[in-house]
Amino acid sequence: MSEKTPNVLARFHFYAPSDRKRAFYASKESGDYLRYVDTGSVKGKYLDYMDYSGSREKSSGAFSRNGLMTAEEKAEMRKKLRSTESVVWDVVISFEEDYGKKKMQSWRNAFDLVTNEFPKFLKDNHMPYDNVEWFAGLHENTDNRHIHLSFFEKGPVLKDPDTGKTHFHTGYLSKLSLESFKVRIEERLNGKEYALHSHRDRILEQEEKKLSDLDQGIEKDQTTKEMLLDLYRSMPKGNYGYSNHKADEIRPKIDRLTSYLISTDQEAMTEFIALTRKLNEKDEEILGICARDKIDPEPYLLTDKFRKDLYRRCGDKILAYLRESNTQNIHSMRGGNEEQKKRWSEKAKRSWLFSKTARLNEEVGSERRFVFDEFEQALKKAEWSRLIESGEVEAE
């Protein structure tokens, strides 16, 4: 989840409640992460994603949205970390050696950077700033100066479209938001913090170019166009979801398009195969346990649930896109009879259908990543339960 700019590197990790490393990041053990951010030392512990030389780092103290944290604020933060059911995110913003020494001369430089750019990053990921707790610290070691930033949600705000219930984010962060975050950091440190219009124009230009490039690629993909047009022509009228009986006849076509979008994305296909293999292995274990105990395994199997959830949620995105195309307010052509106007309107709607496929691909891809993430977490939770039951670890 990281790409290097000339002067800035940002790395993101997240730790779910079931993650083995969660205790360190959620202050559930001595020598915790907040202490490390605050003082720069971890007794006997080093973070697995940083290559430390073994020397003690200097830290100018942990800070939060109100400045350097008091002892009472640190104690309160630990209390919240230990009780939260949210994912805990950890971010390391690292700077090229000379660049960091020039731009990060004290904790105030880091505080100014985080308080100005972090809220924008959260907004890009649909997280209200007021619903997030965070703390950070600047470390000034002998190599590269870097900022450690940790955050979590105060409460669940995402709403499940099927049940209406709210839930926490699963941990996934938009790749585009990560790229924008690093661009914004470097622009601010280069003295462009007040050039807001220029900054926004640059980010928008980058986004539009990516979407344009993607659209051009998909426009040339005759298979995608044919599948969309077939669905558009055959879908029943009305506002309904993938699981509704009205979608029975077109559901196989929706599934084929979902499968095709996965298969043409190499990264998604690789992740899909790897996750399916892990789920199958877990199902084999579940089948053995259920056979031994003579119980029905159906409620406990994961692979089938994964596939059904994946295709349902991606299918809902595809249906919503097709409905939007069909309800576009297309201006009527001037002149001509009613039949000609009808043909012109249909042609205009099909044109819209093909012109926005980059957005469809991004929306389906985003939903797909959420499902992948949720079932990865389900596997981790199942493994943690197994370790507790076998006595390999103690329950918290």
Helices 222-234 + 251-263 axis angle, to 10:
160
User: How is residue 386 written in tokens?
Assistant: 């197994």
Say which range, 21-25, 317-321, 380-384, has the weakest mean pLDDT: 380-384
Tell me the pLDDT tens digit for each residue of 88-108. 999 999 998 889 888 988 888
Tell me the pLDDT tens digit for each residue of 32-81. 788 888 776 443 333 332 333 233 345 568 899 999 988 899 889 989 99
Taking alpha carbons only, the member of 122, 144, 143, 141 closest to residue 133 is: 122
Q: How confident is the model at residue 212 (pLDDT cuts 50, 70, 90)?
A: very low
C-alpha to C-alpha distance for 396 and 380, rounded to whole angstroms: 16
- Predicted pLDDT of residue 383: 65
User: What does the pLDDT average to over 257-261?
Assistant: 88
- Predicted pLDDT of residue 22: 83
Percent of the chain with pLDDT over 90: 18
Taking alpha carbons only, the member of 87, 179, 164 closest to residue 124 is: 179
Q: How confident is the model at residue 270 (pLDDT cuts 50, 70, 90)?
A: confident
CA distances from 72 to 78, 141, 155, 318 (A): 10, 27, 22, 50
Rg of the chain over CA atoms, in angstroms? 25
**DSSP-assigned states of every residue in 47-107:** -TTS---SSPPPEEEEEETTEEPPHHHHHHHHHHHHH--S-EEEEEEEE-HHHHHHH-SSH
- Predicted pLDDT of residue 142: 52
Question: In a 3-state reduction of DSSP, which class is residue 292?
Answer: helix
Residue 391 φ/ψ region, left for φ over 0, alpha for ψ in the -120 to 50 degree band, beta for the rest: left
Structural domains of the chain in order of their starting residue, each with its CATH number: 8-194 (3.30.930), 222-390 (no CATH)
- Predicted pLDDT of residue 266: 77
Element (H, E) at 351: helix 338-355
Mean pLDDT rounded to a whole number for the chain = 76
Q: How confident is the model at residue 3 (pLDDT cuts 50, 70, 90)?
A: very low
Taking alpha carbons only, the member of 78, 63, 70, 171 closest to residue 113 is: 63
